[in-house]
């Protein structure tokens, strides 16, 4: 077999090199791919590339002979009728390019150690013509609300690029313990990830404010207190301008000194109020995004039951979400 030249079609613009190749050569292992890249056997427009290189439509890839035997793949377990019904109940909006879901709290987006049930494993329920929808962003396991999945490769590339470029307007709701001293403002608190020994005794892997003398990761959140209950609790609207892991949870607990209700990981015992649900009160309320086919799409999601129950307890206003709106 000889060296082959492949061309990136327009529909796969902005796709990662490793993912692009693995779709074409299912038997290609990560180790083999890394060796080919390290030795310059794979080139993009005649130049060496990395696994995370983003391909552009029209670029040419030079690839060596690739393994052709299909990679062994475990047969996925068929979804139960209950799981299929659960997935369809989450759908807020769908068209030819994407599907928007209202993810319930407690459902992990992807699998991991000890996680048997997760959203990614249930997306087959929404597949049509044999094409399973693709994740383009994530929410924490205990965070509820708006989550988008792509129905095509080109839509996935478009949406992933929009999320990376922060070309999204994300709005979250949170009920916090206590009341911020300033009702409207911007939090700019760089963050760092704690792993291994750093996180020992702190509830496992977590995010923390960057230590003095270190740059940390830029993290910015705009917030507004919508209502307050005599300094006991407050209802906040949060608009993250960056997308760091656990950003909103850390900013509320560390910058505002008002941990999100139910967030024992970052607020400890102070994040709980007697008589109220101990579940996390953080909800992805709305998302405004550039649609892959042009224009913008805005989708809103109603909060889950425990969140609504807490709002009724404090008398906080809970307006019904507007129907999805797409402008051309």
* Spatial CB neighbours of 37, under 8 Å, sequence gap ≥ 6: 48, 49, 50, 51
Q: What are 219's two structure tokens?
A: 């993290």
Q: Could you give the residue numbers annotated as active site?
A: 140
**Could you report how far apart the first and last alpha carbons of the chain are, in Å?**
49
* Closest by CA position to 43, among listed 31, 57, 32, 55: 55
- 157, 123 in Cβ contact below 8 A? no
User: 């042009």: which residue's tokens?
Assistant: 294
Report the distance separating Cα 255 and Cα 114, nearest Å.
32
User: 């890394």: which residue's tokens?
Assistant: 34
Q: What are 137's two structure tokens?
A: 């962003």
Report the distance separating Cα 316 and Cα 1, nearest Å.
68
Q: What are 208's two structure tokens?
A: 């923390």
* Closest by CA position to 302, among listed 322, 316, 317: 322
Q: What are 131's two structure tokens?
A: 């094409």
- 241, 189 in Cβ contact below 8 A? no
* Closest by CA position to 227, among listed 320, 311, 321: 311
Give kind and range of the element (H or E) at residue 182.
Answer: none
């Amino acid at each position: 077999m000889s060296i082959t030249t492949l061309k990136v079609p327009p529909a796969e613009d902005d796709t990662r090199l490793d993912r692009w190749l693995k779709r074409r050569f299912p038997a290609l292992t990560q180790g083999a791919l890394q060796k080919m890249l390290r030795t310059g056997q794979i080139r993009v427009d005649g130049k060496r590339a990395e696994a995370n290189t983003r391909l552009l439509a029209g670029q040419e890839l030079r690839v060596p002979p690739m393994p052709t035997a299909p990679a062994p793949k475990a047969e996925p377990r068929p979804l139960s009728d209950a799981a299929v019904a659960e997935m369809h109940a989450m759908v807020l909006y769908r068209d030819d390019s994407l599907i928007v879901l209202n993810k319930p709290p407690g459902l992990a987006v992807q699998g991991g150690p000890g996680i048997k049930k997760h959203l990614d494993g249930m997306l087959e329920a929404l597949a049509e013509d044999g094409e399973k929808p693709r994740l383009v962003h994530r929410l924490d396991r205990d965070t509820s609300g708006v989550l988008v999945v792509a129905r095509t490769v080109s839509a996935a590339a478009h949406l992933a690029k929009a999320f990376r470029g922060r070309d999204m307007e994300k709005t979250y709701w949170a009920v916090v313990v206590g009341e911020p001293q300033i009702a409207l403002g911007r939090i700019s608190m760089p963050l760092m990830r704690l792993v291994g020994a750093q996180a020992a005794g702190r509830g496992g892997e977590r995010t923390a404010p960057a230590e003095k003398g270190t740059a940390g990761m830029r993290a910015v959140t705009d917030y507004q207190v919508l209502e307050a209950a005599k300094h006991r609790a407050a209802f906040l609207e949060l608009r993250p301008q960056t997308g760091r892991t656990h950003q909103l949870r850390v900013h509320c607990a560390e910058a505002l000194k008002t941990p999100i209700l139910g967030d024992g990981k970052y607020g400890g015992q102070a994040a709980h109020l007697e008589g109220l649900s101990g579940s996390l009160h953080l909800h992805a309320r709305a998302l405004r995004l550039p649609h892959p086919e042009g224009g913008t799409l805005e989708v809103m999601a109603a909060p889950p039951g425990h969140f609504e129950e807490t709002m009724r307890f404090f008398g906080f206003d809970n307006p019904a979400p507007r129907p999805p709106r797409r402008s051309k």
